[in-house]
């Protein structure tokens, strides 16, 4: 990219649209904006076509989104949806990282726990979520549990693999400096494993979003799930798509934020890549 920019600067072709091309070279982020604009444009056209009576245009959806923001229903929905999501992700993070580290350090724990989480990760959770209601009813507990069911296995397995793949030479160095087992764990293993553990947390958050939506669509419609079901049932399709798009946008922003954080603080070698 950098070399292209240099050649561009040196040659300076005098054709039309040159400044635009230069802008794109200087700011690669513009490509992302363009991709987003293209998507919205295609959506708008598909809605005008229309591909289905139930498919609104992008502009209708955007309008519906602002309507729900201003009448407060969106805010209230997120207030309800974020409760099981945040709670579930926090529990999964604390429990998952701890379990993963223990599994990584002790072979007995690995033999005991790894199969469970591998099975859980492979299981089609959408089919299991309704079963939660048989035991925990339909309240916040059931929904939090649905989030944990999706987020925990990813976090556990990543933490476990992170610990397993700690550089052996660092561990050997700790030993030759006569470090204790505790020093080895807290000064070598966990710091070295932290980037991968954090990546696991990021994936866990993504899974948590899936979990909370499954719970709100399959257990009882509350929060954003309620916006989706309610507007679908009364054929307000623009509002329904706005609710769906908003949760996608929120999950995307959260993940991008976490990724930035990860590159900035945990993986300096990846910065600028």
CB of 235 vs another protein, minimal distance in Å:
4
Q: What does the alpha-carbon distance between residue 201 and residue 93 come to, in Å, rounded to a whole number?
A: 7
Pick from 4, 53, 134, 177 the residue near another protein by CB under 8 A.
53
User: Which residues, numbered 109-168, are part of the site for another protein (CB under 8 A)?
Assistant: 138
What is the distance between the alpha carbons of residues 47 and 16, in angstroms, rounded to a whole number? 33
Nearer to another protein, 60 or 101 (CB): 60
CA atoms within a 13 Å half-sphere pointing along the CA-CB vector of 149: 24
Q: Which is nearer to another protein, 174 or 214 (CB)?
A: 214
With CB under 8 A as the contact rule, the residue among 96, 237, 241, 247 that binds another protein is: 237
Task: Give the residue, chosen from 22, 59, 76, 229, that forms a contact with another protein under the rule CB under 8 A.
Answer: 229
What is the total count of residues that contact another protein (CB under 8 A)? Answer: 16
Stretch binding another protein (CB under 8 A), from 1-9, 143-151, 162-170, 218-226: 218-226
**Could you tell me the smallest distance in angstroms from the CB atom of residue 195 to another protein?**
41
Whose Cβ is closer to another protein: residue 59's or residue 220's?
220
Site string for another protein, 91-120 (x = CB under 8 A): ------------------------------
Nearest to 156 by CA among 86, 214, 91: 91
Nearer to another protein, 53 or 177 (CB): 53
Q: CB-wise, 64 or 196, nearer to another protein?
A: 64
Length of the chain: 273
Q: Which of 221, 258, 262, 263 binds another protein (CB under 8 A)?
A: 221
Candidate ranges 116-124, 183-191, 235-243, 248-256; the one touching another protein (CB under 8 A): 235-243
Residue of 226, 246, 247, 251 that binds another protein (CB under 8 A): 226
Q: How far is the CB of 53 from another protein (least distance, A)?
A: 5
Segment contacting another protein (CB under 8 A): 33-41, 101-109, 227-235, 244-252? Answer: 227-235
Q: What is the footprint of another protein within residues 33-52 (CB under 8 A)? A: 52
Q: How far is the CB of 221 from another protein (least distance, A)?
A: 6
Under the phi-then-psi rule, with left for phi > 0, alpha for psi from -120 to 50, and beta for the rest, what region is 116? alpha
| DSSP collapsed to 3 states, the chain | CHHHHHHHHHHCCCCCCHHHHHHHHHCCHHHHHHHHHHHHHHHHHHHHCCCCCCCCCHHHHHHHHHHHHHCCHHHHHHHHHHHHHHHHHHHHHHHHHHHHHHHHHCHHHHHHHHHHHHHHHHCCHHHHHHHHHHHHCCCHHHHHHHHHHHHHHHHHHHHHHHHHCCCHHHHHHHHHCCCCHHHHHHHHHHHHHHHHHHHHHHHHHHHHHHHHHHHHHHCCCCHHHHHHHHHHHCCCHHHHHHHHHHHHHHHHHHHHHHHHHHHHHHCHHHCCC
- Which chain residues interact with another protein by CB under 8 A? 52-54, 138, 220-222, 226, 229-230, 232-237
């Amino acid at each position: 990219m950098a070399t292209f920019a240099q050649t561009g600067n040196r040659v300076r072709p005098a054709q039309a649209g040159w400044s635009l091309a230069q802008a794109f070279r200087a700011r690669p982020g513009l490509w992302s904006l363009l991709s987003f604009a293209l998507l919205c444009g295609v959506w708008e056209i598909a809605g005008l076509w229309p591909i289905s009576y139930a498919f609104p245009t992008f502009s209708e959806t955007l309008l519906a989104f602002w309507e729900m923001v201003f009448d407060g229903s969106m805010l209230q929905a997120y207030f309800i949806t974020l409760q099981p999501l945040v709670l579930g992700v926090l529990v999964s993070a604390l429990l998952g990282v701890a379990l993963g580290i223990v599994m990584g350090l002790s072979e007995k724990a690995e033999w005991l726990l790894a199969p469970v989480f591998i099975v859980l990760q492979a299981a089609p959770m959408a089919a299991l979520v309704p079963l939660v209601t048989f035991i925990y009813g339909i309240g916040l507990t059931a929904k939090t549990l649905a989030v944990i069911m999706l987020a925990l296995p990813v976090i556990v397995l990543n933490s476990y693999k992170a610990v397993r793949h700690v550089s052996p030479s660092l561990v050997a160095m700790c030993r030759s400096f006569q470090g204790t087992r505790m020093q080895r764990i807290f000064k070598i293993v966990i710091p070295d494993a932290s980037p991968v553990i954090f990546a696991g947390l990021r994936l866990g958050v993504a899974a948590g979003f899936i979990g909370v939506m499954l719970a709100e669509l399959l257990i009882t419609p509350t929060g954003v799930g309620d916006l989706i079901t309610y507007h679908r049932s009364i054929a307000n399709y623009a509002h329904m798509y706005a609710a769906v798009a908003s949760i996608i946008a929120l999950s995307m922003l959260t993940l991008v934020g976490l990724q930035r954080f990860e590159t900035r603080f945990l993986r300096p070698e990846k910065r600028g890549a």
